Chains A and B, each alone.
Chain A
Amino acid sequence: MTSFVVRRAAQSVVLFFIVISGVFCLVHLTPGGPEAALAQNPRVGVDELQQLRQRFGLNDALPVQYVKWVTNAAHLDFGQSYFYQRPATQVVGERLMPTLQLGLMAYVIALLGVPLGAVAALHRGRMADTLVQLIVTVGAAVPTWWLGLSSIVALNSLTGWFPNGQGQGNAVEWLKYIILPASVLGLGGLVSFARLVRSGVLDTLGEDFVRTARAKGLGPSLVASRHVLTNALLPVITLLGGLLPSVLSGTLVTEYVFAWPGVGRLFYEAATSRDYPLLLAVLTMTTFATILGTLMADVGYGLVDPRVRYA
């Protein structure tokens, strides 16, 4: 198991490097290039453009730029943000907290899918099951951004309250503002958890040891809690990591809709203003998180299921 984790982690490092290099090339090789934003600005003359190119190192050959960027990035230095005129790392750091709060809260919402899936499977074919299936189907087909918008609009016309931004002050205020965006962001995860747990519980219900437990006279609730759920809930761990990429990309849309001052919104702003150092900084961070999520999912899978043997 240890050797598997080590090897898998090493693979992830290589993978991270490849993806990041690809992203860097993508940004720098495409027509327009990093300086397009500067060139578009009418206040920036040809001389100034040259100076700026010099200052941001855009005159170097691409491999040189790449090596410089990687070396600096290894020290968490992503250069100066064009727009903020401050280190990109610093700007991203300031936006990290709100996104972490939103993301964690979304995970809490998503985990509600676990009991939903379990209840659905244990009451297969009945009202509860149908209801959960309905939530799962609807949740998978509805666009996140639209759910956010329509819930804001519905809430506004019902209560006159227009939730926007991050709540300041006490915990109640904080919760009041975070609950809607977190629910919208967490819905996708809730659907995945409910699906996974439902099919997991149904599979386990058909296992021999469950029949044995029943045969020796245990009551249905005892069988469900001690034999079925303990086994069926293990795969939930793998999804905790597997969900990370989709939660991350979800923050892009959710933070935009709810004017949440996090990294997703920062990326949106950086993209509209073509702030390349900032874009690359956020991209590096999200790539890292994406790969970390996959790694966690794989390792978690090995941890919970002893039947899985890694060659």
Chain B
Amino acid sequence: MQLRRSAWDRFRRDRASVAALGMLLLVATLSATAPLLAAGVLHSDPDRFVRTDAGRIATLRAPSPGNLLGTDDLGRDVLARLLYAGRVSLLVGFGVALMSVAIGAPLGLLAAYFGGWFDDLVNALVQVVLNVPLLFVLIVLSVLLAPGALQLALIFGLFLWPSTARQVRGAALSVSRRDYVDAARVLGASHVRVLRQHIAPNVASVVLVMAGIDMATAILAESSLSFLGFGVPVPLASWGNMLSLSQDQFRAAPWLVYPPGVMIFVTVLCVFVVTDGLRDALDPRMAFTR
């Protein structure tokens, strides 16, 4: 408990991390309240076509007070779509981080602790999955299964856990060889107790850091996949698929290009900064240096 509080104190003192965390919370709040914001504040809808005074569909309109970020090639409000798209990216990001930790952490932990054939098995699995050409296989899966946002997160998670398992295994391995673990065993502690009381707490920081990295990787991968047209199904907006219209449009409407990319960039950057801050704050050695 003492260690945890001091970790938070150390995290709080790192201004960049706190700012990044604030920014992430802002993006999350904006995405979560997207329906309210779009309907109540912007008076627009991500799927409705904006019409001109003459009643025609207003396609590729430059930003104006009515549509702060303009309209896309089908005449939909870009800002409303941007807000809704955040829901997909964050859902995929969090979902994948959860999946990857849920699969990778226990496997890595148990592989390191028990060793032997189980360790070999986990290592073999990790090797196989790590050597799958990821984006290529994701495209094939997406063509075959036509997944929604949640299914997409599940599929990503099935491929991203090996790096977590590897890191957790490494961290757990160095801990489980320590004398105090042997001492606990000699004193009659069960495997479950040793794992939970003595090994898991030392691996927690690695798990958190890997969750952050997985989240960033997933958001970037989802955006690539959606950009290529193999991500979430249209008309659902995602930061990736907002730009998957014909490239020639961008000559006429360059303002369409920047908003989705900036959102991904800011989100992923903040995830990285927060992750870095967590790594430093949770590193027990740092407790003495600051």
Does the CB pair B139–A141 fall under 8 Å?
no
* Cα A149 to Cα B245 with chains together (Å): 11
Task: Say what secondary structure dominates the interface of chain A.
Answer: helix
Q: How far in angstroms is the closest Cβ of chain B from A44?
A: 19
Give the residues in chain B near A153, CB-CB below 8 Å.
Answer: 250-251, 254, 257
> Which residues of A in the span 198-238 have a Cβ within 8 Å of any Cβ on B?
none
Q: For the complex, is A137 an interface residue (Cβ under 8 Å from B)?
A: yes
Q: For the complex, is B143 an interface residue (Cβ under 8 Å from A)?
A: yes
- What is the chain B residue whose CB lies nearest that of A23? B137
Q: For the complex, is B264 an interface residue (Cβ under 8 Å from A)?
A: yes
Q: For the complex, is A72 an interface residue (Cβ under 8 Å from B)?
A: no
Q: How far in angstroms is the closest Cβ of chain B from A299?
A: 15
Give the residues in chain A near B162, CB-CB below 8 Å.
Answer: none
Does the CB pair A146–B132 fall under 8 Å?
no
Interface residues on chain B, number (Cβ under 8 Å)? 39
Selected contact of A32 from candidates B139, B144, B216, CB within 8 Å: B144
Give the residues in chain A near B117, CB-CB below 8 Å.
Answer: none
Does the CB pair A150–B258 fall under 8 Å?
yes
* Cα A61 to Cα B135 with chains together (Å): 29
Indicate with 1 or 0, residue by residue over B123-135, a CB within 8 angstroms of chain A CB atoms: 0000110111111
Q: How far in angstroms is the closest Cβ of chain B from A275?
A: 10
Q: How large is the interface on A (under 10, 10 to 19, 20 to 34, 35 or more residues)?
A: 35 or more
Give the residues in chain A near B134, CB-CB below 8 Å.
Answer: 245, 249
Does the CB pair B141–A141 fall under 8 Å?
no
- What is the chain B residue whose CB lies nearest that of A259? B247
Give the residues in chain B near A294, CB-CB below 8 Å.
Answer: 130-131
Does the CB pair B128–A18 fall under 8 Å?
yes
Q: How far in angstroms is the closest Cβ of chain A from B47?
A: 23
Knowing A27-B140, A256-B228, say if A149 contacts B223 (CB, 8 Å).
no
* Cα A287 to Cα B12 with chains together (Å): 44
Q: How far in angstroms is the closest Cβ of chain A from B139?
A: 5
Does the CB pair B145–A30 fall under 8 Å?
yes
Q: How far in angstroms is the closest Cβ of chain A from B148?
A: 15
> Could you pull out 11 A-B pairs where Cβ atoms are within 8 angstroms?
A19-B132, A22-B132, A30-B141, A145-B228, A150-B257, A162-B251, A249-B134, A253-B227, A256-B228, A267-B136, A286-B136
Q: Which 5 A-B residue pairings sit nearest by Cβ, starting from the closest?
A: A146-B261, A249-B135, A286-B133, A30-B144, A141-B269
